[in-house]
Amino acid sequence: MKKNDLFYILFFPVMPFLFFHLPAYFLTVSAITIFLYGWDKWAAVRNHWRVPECALLFWALAGGSPAAILMMFLCRHKVSKPAFFIPFLLVLALQCSAVTYAQYRGWITFPALSGGG
């Protein structure tokens, strides 16, 4: 097993949450995403071993994209690198398309926003 495989192996213990408790899944994936983006920023500053970009994109695609956006702009990490930012934008577009399609098909619903009156 290569050391880069560790980032993907972390997904297997998280997978059952996807089917049984969706909020726990998103919290866990977001926590892992925050940790990996923070670790990568820390390693970039200190010239240590870095988290592969494909692993960062994988965790964003797995559901950690809000956490990834937070860490990218909070730490100013990977924002000015087009080789990473463009695929990240494609991940966001894919997720938005999937949510829109699922809502159109009636698989998910969102509560209506009330006007407050």
How confident is the model over 72-95, as pLDDT tens digits? 889 887 778 888 889 999 999 999
**Residue 38 clears pLDDT 60, i.e. is over it:** yes
**Complete DSSP assignment for 14-40:** HHHHHHH-HHHHHHHHHHHHHHHHHHH
The closest of 72, 75, 73, 65 to 45, measured between CA atoms, is: 75
**Residue 67 clears pLDDT 90, i.e. is over it:** yes
pTM: 0.80
**What pLDDT is recorded for position 115?**
62
Helices (H), the chain: 6-9, 11-20, 22-46, 53-59, 65-74, 82-105
Q: How far apart are CA 32 and CA 18, in angstroms?
A: 15
Mean pLDDT of 38-48: 90
110 confidence band (pLDDT: 50, 70, 90): confident
The closest of 106, 97, 105, 93 to 65, measured between CA atoms, is: 93
- Summarize pLDDT for 16-28 with one digit per residue, the tens: 777 778 788 889 8
**Residue 30 clears pLDDT 80, i.e. is over it:** yes
